[in-house]
């Protein structure tokens, strides 16, 4: 199921290997949540019925409108909060990971880390920052199995990340997965902020150089969370789309009979 063609397409801002993550995600975490439950009390667009879980941009726009402040201001506040909270909890290594190690999760996540670094060039503008997050494939230890899938699919052009970078994203992912897997917390209008507030409590490894860490850690956390919200919206749409199609078909039939 994993061996699809890997081409990173920046024009739409996501890897075609997105399917890997969606497949892994669906199988591992979300099978038990019925679509009806997902849509209850949610930030879902009612008109079309198909576009559920509105985009982050739209979500923030609505909040900005409600509180009469600019979207950029909300984003800046979130970044500041992240920096303030995370920087007091930096640790040398993650001892008890939030996301327990699971081979399928890990290989999909490792490739997603590479995609994040590839798709957000500002993370690697500085050589010292780059050194802390980008790895040479040959220098990764043999017993680091998360790299398996990326090695298999790389053909020499995928980005390999360092173990601290992978562990950092795995921590963040642990929170996001819990967030989306908990029916009481997801798909409310401020789902993104809820997620970030929980991420604020993490103990992370201080990647990036000292000079740029303050700016890049919050940026990276937000970009990753944004990507995951995007995936989640896709997953939910995939769940609901067949039902919508069936409804349209039924209406069409009714129309024909009338
Ligand atoms: Zn730097």
CA of 117 to the centre of ligand 1 (A): 14
Entry field: residues in the chain: 258
Is pLDDT above 80 for 250? no
Q: What per-residue confidence (pLDDT) applies to 106? A: 92
In the reported structure, the alpha carbon of residue 47 is separated from the centroid of ligand 1 by a whole-number distance in angstroms of: 46
Looking at residue 49, its pLDDT comes to 41
Q: Compute the distance from residue 212 Cα to the ligand 1 centre, in Å.
A: 5
Q: What percent of the chain has pLDDT over 90?
A: 30
Q: How is the chain split into domains, by residue range?
A: 8-48, 56-248
> How far does the centroid of ligand 1 lie from the alpha carbon of residue 258, in Å?
68
Structure confidence at residue 78 as a pLDDT band (50, 70, 90): confident
Q: Whole-prediction pTM value?
A: 0.74
| Separation of alpha carbons 124 and 46, rounded Å | 41
Q: How confident is the model at residue 189 (pLDDT cuts 50, 70, 90)?
A: low
Angle formed by the axes of helices 71-86 and 56-67, to 10°? Answer: 100
Distance 98 CA to ligand 1 centre (A): 27
pLDDT digits (tens, 9 = 90+) for 107-127: 999 999 999 999 999 999 999
Contact 52, 237 (CB under 8 A): yes
Asked if the model's pLDDT at residue 243 lies above 90, the reply is no
Query: Average pLDDT of the chain?
Result: 76
Centre of ligand 1 from the C-alpha of residue 5, in Å? 33
Give bridge partners of residue 15 from the DSSP assignment.
8
Q: What is the average pLDDT across 196-209?
A: 90
Ligand 1 geometric centre to CA of 125 (Å): 7
37 pLDDT above the threshold of 90: no
Give me the mean pLDDT over the 177-190 stretch: 69
| pLDDT value of position 253 | 73
What is the DSSP-derived secondary structure letter of residue 161?
Answer: B
How far is the centre of ligand 1, averaged over its atoms, from the C-alpha of 208 (Å)? 6
Cα 192 to ligand 1 centroid, rounded to whole Å: 27
Q: How far apart, in whole angstroms, are the C-alpha atoms of residue 129 and residue 201?
A: 23
pLDDT at site 5:
33
* pLDDT tops 50 at residue 36: no
């Amino acid at each position: 199921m994993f061996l699809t063609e890997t081409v990173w397409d920046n024009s739409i801002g996501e890897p075609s290997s997105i399917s890997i993550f969606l497949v892994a995600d669906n199988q591992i975490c979300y099978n038990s949540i019925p679509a009806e439950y997902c849509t209850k009390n949610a930030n879902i667009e009612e008109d079309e019925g198909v576009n559920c879980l509105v985009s982050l941009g739209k979500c923030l726009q609505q909040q900005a409108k409600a509180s009469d402040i600019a979207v950029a201001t909300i984003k800046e506040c979130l970044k500041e909060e992240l920096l303030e909270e995370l920087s007091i909890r930096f640790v040398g290594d993650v001892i008890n990971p939030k996301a327990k190690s699971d081979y399928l999760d890990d290989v999909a996540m490792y490739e997603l880390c590479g995609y994040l670094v590839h798709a957000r060039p500002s993370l690697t503008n500085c050589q010292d920052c780059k050194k802390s997050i980008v790895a040479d494939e040959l220098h990764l230890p043999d017993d680091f199995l998360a790299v398996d899938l990326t090695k298999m699919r790389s053909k020499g052009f995928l980005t390999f990340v360092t173990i601290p970078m992978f562990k950092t994203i795995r921590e963040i992912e642990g929170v996001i997965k819990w967030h989306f897997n908990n029916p009481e917390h997801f798909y409310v209008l401020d789902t993104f902020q809820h997620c970030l507030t929980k991420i604020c409590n993490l103990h992370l490894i201080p990647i990036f150089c000292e000079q740029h860490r303050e700016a890049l850690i919050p940026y990276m956390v937000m970009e990753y969370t944004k990507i995951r919200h995007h995936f989640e919206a896709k997953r939910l749409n995939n769940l609901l789309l067949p039902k919508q199609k069936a409804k349209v078909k039924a209406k069409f039939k009714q129309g024909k009979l009338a």
